Amino acid sequence: MDYGQIISAVGLIAVTSFLMYRAANKFRRERRPAVTAALGALFDWVGVFALFFAANLALGAVMIFLLRAITRRFFGLYGLENLLLLILSAAQAFVFQTWWRRD
């Protein structure tokens, strides 16, 4: 793990977030939600994402163990090490959180 890349990525995120916050304050005076509400929504999403990702991993592991028990073929758990599973879990959490807040 290259800590220089991590620090530069976090720095870039911090700078662009600050610039967008300043621009939003300048050009959108009429009705803007509080930053704390947005951060709260972010942490809600992170929690829902963690739950969906853990559930998807657990269900995938159960399916692999069942396939191992039913067939004679070997299925590795490393098949769950997939970037697409991470991205789809994030999208799943976003859709769920949006649907949940609409009520």
For 89-100, write each residue's pLDDT tens digit.
Answer: 999 999 999 888
Same domain, 54 and 19: no
| pLDDT value for 32 | 61
Same domain, 102 and 66: yes
Same domain, 90 and 48: yes
Same domain, 42 and 66: yes
Q: Is it the case that residue 21 has pLDDT exceeding 60?
A: yes
pTM comes to 0.72
Q: Is it the case that residue 80 has pLDDT exceeding 90?
A: no
Same domain, 76 and 94: yes
Domain range enclosing 68: 34-103
Distances (CA, A) of 5 to 13, 15, 17: 12, 15, 18
Same domain, 25 and 50: no
Residue 52, amino acid = F
Same domain, 72 and 25: no
List pLDDT tens digits, range 34-69: 778 888 889 999 999 999 999 999 999 999 899 899
% of the chain with per-residue pLDDT over 90? 36
